[in-house]
């Protein structure tokens, strides 16, 4: 008997994602002016307020208010009626210098022996069920919200949309773990109060709410989903939309109050959305606001890089890679592999792990260098997932009232590159 599996995503206007984006924007600003910056920036957002906290060691000086306001305005919180608006919200900073006790465990005279910024275990996962080697349920959930945000920002259709939104996709799998069909799609989107009740009675309010819900549901089915279908170029995936899909659109009936006014947001509360949507595993460490000396981030990217290259090389159809570290120690404590009995090579998972250790240098500094992580590349990761994205080179500009403006060319999502396939094939004897 087959099974159902569900993944969720949240939009860039979700309060937790607002917090993530502010934290990563602060990190990018610091790295742009001082690539050696050590940063751990946490953000809290609530009604009319942003609170920044954390530890920083840097030669750069950042106008935190300006950074936070720019992020909020870019997301789309630009109206006072949202009760959280970029130009008027309060921005409070409680950031202080990094503990010297932590710093001495990280920095070394030989940079390649730089210690891990913390202990912990990190996981990377990949599956060949999609072209980007991501779980299909999460890939579709991200796509729905990314396109919904494009519609909102274009301002031509669904003009009632507000920035906060969530999606969920449930897929039916067969006994062999192959996707068979899309079972359920959930879309919850914040919206303007665009139908007013005739009077103050509960009945009139309910009628107005039902009219709004009817319009939103119709637009999700006839505006949003056709654009989602048009963005899918894999016929096998399109064929999964082959049955009576259950759609839940704004199941509560009304979603006017949202964003940081409706729910407090915190950095790092969407780690499953950020990674694999519940597939594989997660070590528990968040990403946003952390510089790459924190292996919570850099080693999780490295583990994804390894898993993706191994699956793409044909070592397994699905693979989970765990790497663990001790604070201040450069080399990993262990490497663990699980191929879910879907390996294509005639060796054990333990032997695969040993080959990974031979192929990839997993010291923190080596990861930083290989994946070019000391660049300001993190704002783009803070919404719609850190994994499964398309590597690309972009030019980014940074403005500072204290230093000269800066323009840098950087490569985004380097951990998604498939540039180790030949080395993996050679090591595993795959021809």
Averaged pLDDT, 282-289: 96
Whether 3-8+136-259 and 120-127+294-428 share one fold: the answer is yes
Say if residue 101's pLDDT is above 60.
Answer: no
| Residue 338 among known ligand-binding residues | no
286 labelled ligand-binding: yes
Statement: residue 108 has pLDDT above 60: no
Residues whose CB is less than 8 angstroms from the CB of residue 393 and which lie 6 or more positions away in sequence, other chains included: 409, 410, 411, 412
Please tell me whether 290 is known to bind a ligand.
yes
Confirm or deny that 165 is annotated as ligand binding. yes
368 labelled binding-site residue: no
CA 24 to chain CA centroid, Å, is: 11
For residue 428, give both structure tokens. Answer: 């595993």
Gap between the Cα atoms of 268 and 123, Å rounded: 16
User: Is 330 annotated to bind ligand?
Assistant: no
Please check the confidence at residue 100 and state whether its pLDDT lies above 70.
Answer: no
What percent of the chain clears pLDDT 70, i.e. is strictly above it?
Answer: 97
For residue range 130-165, what is the model confidence (pLDDT) as tens digits?
A: 999 999 999 999 999 999 999 999 999 999 999 999
Pairwise CA distance, residues 314 & 339, whole Å: 12
405 among the known binding-site residues?
A: no
Distance CA 259, CA 163 (A): 7
Annotated binding residue at 349? Answer: no
98 is in an annotated binding site: yes
Q: How many helices (H) and strands (E) does the chain have?
A: 13, 13
Q: What is the pTM of this model?
A: 0.96
Q: What is the mean pLDDT of residues 86-111?
A: 76
Instruction: Domain ranges for the chain, please list them.
Output: 3-8+136-259, 120-127+294-428
For residue range 373-410, list pLDDT tens digits in order.
999 999 999 999 999 999 999 999 998 888 889 999 99
CATH code for residues 3-8+136-259:
3.30.300.10
Which of 412, 397, 411, 413 lies closest to 32 in space, CA to CA? 397
Q: Which one is the CATH code of 120-127+294-428: 3.40.50.920, 3.60.20.10, 2.60.40.10, 3.30.300.10?
A: 3.30.300.10
How does the average pLDDT of the chain come out, rounded?
95
The predicted-structure confidence for 222-268, as pLDDT tens digits, reads as follows 999 999 999 999 999 999 998 799 999 999 999 999 999 999 999 99
Residues in the chain: 431
pLDDT digits (tens, 9 = 90+) for 14-70: 999 999 999 999 999 999 999 999 999 999 999 999 999 999 999 999 999 999 999
What is residue 103's predicted lDDT score, i.e. its pLDDT? 55
User: At residue 106, does pLDDT exceed 80?
Assistant: no
pLDDT of residue 104: 55
Whether pLDDT at 330 is above 80? yes
Res. 115 pLDDT band, cuts 50 70 90? confident
What pLDDT was estimated at residue 118? 84
- Distance (Å) of CA 359 to CA 23, 236, 310, 402: 33, 33, 11, 44
* 294 annotated among ligand-binding-site residues: yes
């Amino acid at each position: 008997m087959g099974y159902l599996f569900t993944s969720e995503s949240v939009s860039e206007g979700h309060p937790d994602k607002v917090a993530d984006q502010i934290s990563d924007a602060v990190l990018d600003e610091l790295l742009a002016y001082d690539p050696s910056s050590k940063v751990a920036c946490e953000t809290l957002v609530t009604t009319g307020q942003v609170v920044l906290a954390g530890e920083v060691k840097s030669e750069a000086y950042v106008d935190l208010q300006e950074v936070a306001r720019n992020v909020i305005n870019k997301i789309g919180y630009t109206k006072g009626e949202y009760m959280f608006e970029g130009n008027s919200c309060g921005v409070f900073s409680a950031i202080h210098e990094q503990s010297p006790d932590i710093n001495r465990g990280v920095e070394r005279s030989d940079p390649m022996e730089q210690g891990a910024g913390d202990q912990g275990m990190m996981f990377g996962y990949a599956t060949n069920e999609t072209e980007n080697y991501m779980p299909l349920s999460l890939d579709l959930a991200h796509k729905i919200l990314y396109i919904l945000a494009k519609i909102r920002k274009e301002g031509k259709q669904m003009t009632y949309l507000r920035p906060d939104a969530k999606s969920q996709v449930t897929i039916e799998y067969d006994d062999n773990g192959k996707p068979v069909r899309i079972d359920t799609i959930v879309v919850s989107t914040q919206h303007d109060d665009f139908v007013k009740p005739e009077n103050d009675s509960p009945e009139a309010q309910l009628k107005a709410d039902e009219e709004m819900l009817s319009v939103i549901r119709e637009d999700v089915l006839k505006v949003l989903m056709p654009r989602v279908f048009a963005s899918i170029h894999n016929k096998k995936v399109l064929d999964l939309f082959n049955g009576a899909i259950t759609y839940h659109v704004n199941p509560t009936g009304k979603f006017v109050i949202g964003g940081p006014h409706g729910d407090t947001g915190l950095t790092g509360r969407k780690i499953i959305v950020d990674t694999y949507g519940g597939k594989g595993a997660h070590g528990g460490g968040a990403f946003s606001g952390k510089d790459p000396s924190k292996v919570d981030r850099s080693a999780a990217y490295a583990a994804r890089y390894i898993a993706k290259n191994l699956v793409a090389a044909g070592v397994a159809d699905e693979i989970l890679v765990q790497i663990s570290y001790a604070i201040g120690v450069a080399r990993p404590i262990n490497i663990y592999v699980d191929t879910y009995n879907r390996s294509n090579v005639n060796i054990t998972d333990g032997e695969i792990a040993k080959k990974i250790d031979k192929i990839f240098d997993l010291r923190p500094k080596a990861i930083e260098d290989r994946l070019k992580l000391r660049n300001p590349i993190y704002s783009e990761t803070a919404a719609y997932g850190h994994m499964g994205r398309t590597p690309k080179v972009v030019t980014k500009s940074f403005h500072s009232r204290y230093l000269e403006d800066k323009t840098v060319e950087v490569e985004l999502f380097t951990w998604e590159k498939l540039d180790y396939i030949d080395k993996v094939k050679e090591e595993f004897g795959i021809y």
